[in-house]
Amino acid sequence: MSSALDRLKNLSNKLSISNYEMARKENLSKLKELYKEVGIDKKVEKFEDLFDFKAINLSGASLQSENLGEIKEGRYLQVLAIAYDKSASVKSKNISLGYFGRVENVDVEFKNKVIEFIIRYRFEKSFMTLEHYHEMLGQFA
């Protein structure tokens, strides 16, 4: 637990809350641009509806920081969203938001935009999660 606390202290020393809010605002702006550029708007009409998904993943290229963007030869570049329905017999379901063909045939610049879209989505989704838990903690104050 102390290592998590140490990381939080270290992070708060590096960035103030106002810097995070500015980064979040800039991220949302760029995310909206990429949403259209990558073509996700064709599958999800309203930008806000993106955040109803539990997560968005990528096949065909790495999202890990140590090898970000590295392609997986023979695979297909595809953006997959995970939808969750509590009332359904099968609770989670994968939905394709974008299929771009064999990853080695996809333009590198476009592939990088797809990766950036997912990272920016996850960045915003993490803020939403923080807000959710912050509101929950308010019940104990």
pLDDT digits (tens, 9 = 90+) for 99-122: 999 999 999 999 999 999 999 999
Helix, strand or coil, per DSSP, at residue 129: helix
Phi, psi at 69, each rounded to 5°: 85, -10
- 103, 60 Cβ separation under 8 angstroms: yes
When pLDDT is cut at 50, 70 and 90, the band that residue 15 belongs to is low
In angstroms, the CA 47 to CA 85 distance is: 20
Reported confidence tier of residue 11, pLDDT bands at 50, 70, 90:
low
Domain residue ranges of the chain, discontinuous segments joined by +: 3-139
Rg (CA), the chain: 17
Terminal C-alpha separation, the chain: 22
Using alpha carbons only, what angle is made at residue 29 by residues 60 and 131, rounded to the nearest 5 degrees? 90
Report pLDDT digits (tens) over 16-75.
666 778 888 999 999 999 999 999 999 999 999 999 999 999 999 989 999 998 899 999
Do residues 110 and 117 touch, judged by C-beta distance below 8 A?
no
Count H helices and E strands in the chain, helices first.
3, 3
